[in-house]
Structure 1
Amino acid sequence: MPKLPILSGAEIIRMLERLGFEQVRQRGSHVVLRRGDVGCVVPLHKAVKTGTLAGLLRQAGVTIDELLAAH
């Protein structure tokens, strides 16, 4: 399993959209994405911390390898 990179919120959203997620709504600096009945919340920060990214991927049901392949 590769090490988690430090990515911006916008980069994470683009990668998840390539994996089939769609933006449902945004409130402030948080964007809610959904694919079927699975959803996740992405903070629109310049650099999302690795722990936050790990939790976000767990919430979305996406592996690190899948995310990096969509880069």
Structure 2
Amino acid sequence: MPKLPRISSREAIRALERLGFEQVRQTGSHVVMKKAIAEGEIGCVVPVHQELKVGTLSGILKQAQVTVEEFIDNL
């Protein structure tokens, strides 16, 4: 499994949009994103920061049910 890169929240949001997520709303410094799937919806919350910590990005990917490889391919 490749290492997660240190990226900004803007780059993470753009990659998630390429994976089919769309921005639903922004409350303060957190962007809520959702994706419709056959079983319902998947949602994730991305904090708006200059640089996301690796643990934070890992948590976002778990919420979004996206693998590290898929995410890196869409950066």
What TM-score, normalized by structure 1, do the two folds share? Answer: 0.98
Identical amino acids, percent of aligned pairs? 59
Unaligned runs of 5+ in 2: none
Which position in structure 1 is the counterpart of 2:20? 20
Which position in structure 1 is the counterpart of 2:6? 6
Supply the RMSD in Å over aligned alpha carbons. Answer: 0.5
Unaligned runs of 5+ in 1: none
Within 5 Å, give how 1:38-57 maps onto structure 2. 38-57=42-61
What's the secondary structure of 2:45's corresponding residue?
A: strand
Q: How many residues align?
A: 71
Q: Output the CA distance in 1 between the equivalents of 2:60 and 2:46.
A: 7
* Deviations, residues 30-66 of structure 1 (Å, cap 9, x unaligned): 0000001000000110000000000110000000100
What TM-score, normalized by structure 2, do the two folds share? Answer: 0.93
Which position in structure 2 is the counterpart of 1:65? 69
Query: Which protein has the larger Cα radius of gyration, Structure 1 or Structure 2?
Result: 2
